[in-house]
Structure 1
Amino acid sequence: MSIPGVSAAPGGDALGARTPRRSPVRLALLDDHEVLLDSLSSWISGNAPDFDVVLAATSWLQLVHSPAFPTEMVFLDLQLAEPVSIEARVRTCRAAGAKVVVLTSLDTPEARERAMAAGAAEFLVKTLPMAEVMEAARRVMGLDDAGTAGGWRPPPSGAAAHPEHVRPRLSPGEEEALKLYVAGHSTAEVAAEMNVQYETAKTYLRRVREKYAKVGRPAGKKAELIRRAAEDGILE
Structure 2
Amino acid sequence: MVPAVPVSVVIVDHHPVVRAGLSTWCAAAEGPIEVVAEGPDVSVALYGPGRAADVVVLELLPRDGRPTCAELHELVAQQRRIVGYTMRGGPEPALARMDLGSTAVITRAAEQWHLVTAIRAAAAGVRYTPPRQASGRRCPPDRPLLSARELEVLVSWFRSESKGVVAKSLGISERTVNTYLDRVRIKYANAGRPASTKAKLMARAVQDGLISLDEL
TM-score scaled to structure 1, two decimals?
0.46
Deviations 1:163-221 (A, max 9, x none): xxxxxxxxx9xxxxxxxxxxxxxxxxxxxxxxxxxxxxxxxxxxxxxxxxxxxxxxxxx
Q: Does 1:86 align with 2:68?
A: yes
User: By percentage of residues, which structure has more helix?
Assistant: 2
Give the residue type in structure 2 aligned to 1:106: G
Cα deviation for residue 85 of structure 1 reads 3.0
Hey, what does 1:99 align to over in structure 2? 81
**In the aligned structure 2, how far is the partner of 1:142 from the partner of 1:67?**
20
Runs of at least 5 residues in structure 2 that lack an aligned partner in the other structure? 127-171, 173-216
Cα deviation for residue 39 of structure 1 reads 1.4
Deviations 1:85-109 (A, max 9, x none): 3322222222223211111123253
**In the aligned structure 2, how far is the partner of 1:99 from the partner of 1:122?**
9
Trace 1:26-175 onto structure 2 (pairs within 5 A).
Answer: 26-82=8-64, 85-104=67-86, 105-113=88-96, 115-142=97-124
**In the aligned structure 2, how far is the partner of 1:132 from the partner of 1:61?**
26
Quickly say closer, same or farther: Cα 1:133–1:111, change in 2 above 3 A. Answer: closer
**In the aligned structure 2, how far is the partner of 1:102 from the partner of 1:37?**
13
How large is the Cα RMSD of the aligned pairs?
2.8
Runs of at least 5 residues in structure 1 that lack an aligned partner in the other structure? 1-16, 145-171, 173-236
Cα deviation for residue 77 of structure 1 reads 0.8
SS in structure 2 at match of 1:131: helix
Q: Is the 8 A contact 1:31 1:37 kept in 2?
A: yes
Q: Is the 8 A contact 1:74 1:98 kept in 2?
A: yes
**In the aligned structure 1, how far is the partner of 2:22 from the partner of 2:90?**
19
Hey, what does 1:20 align to over in structure 2? 4
> Comparing both chains, which one has the higher relative contact order based on Cα–Cα distances under 8 Å and sequence gaps of 6 or more?
1
**In the aligned structure 1, how far is the partner of 2:46 from the partner of 2:66?**
12
**In the aligned structure 2, how far is the partner of 1:111 from the partner of 1:138?**
19
Q: Is the 8 A contact 2:57 2:83 kept in 1?
A: yes
Quickly say closer, same or farther: Cα 1:108–1:142, change in 2 above 3 A. Answer: closer
**In the aligned structure 1, how far is the partner of 2:116 from the partner of 2:80?**
16
Trace 1:149-228 onto structure 2 (pairs within 5 A).
Answer: none
Percent identity (aligned): 18
SS in structure 2 at match of 1:47: coil
Cα deviation for residue 140 of structure 1 reads 2.6
Quickly say closer, same or farther: Cα 1:128–1:110, change in 2 above 3 A. Answer: closer
Quickly say closer, same or farther: Cα 1:69–1:80, change in 2 above 3 A. Answer: farther
TM-score scaled to structure 2, two decimals?
0.50
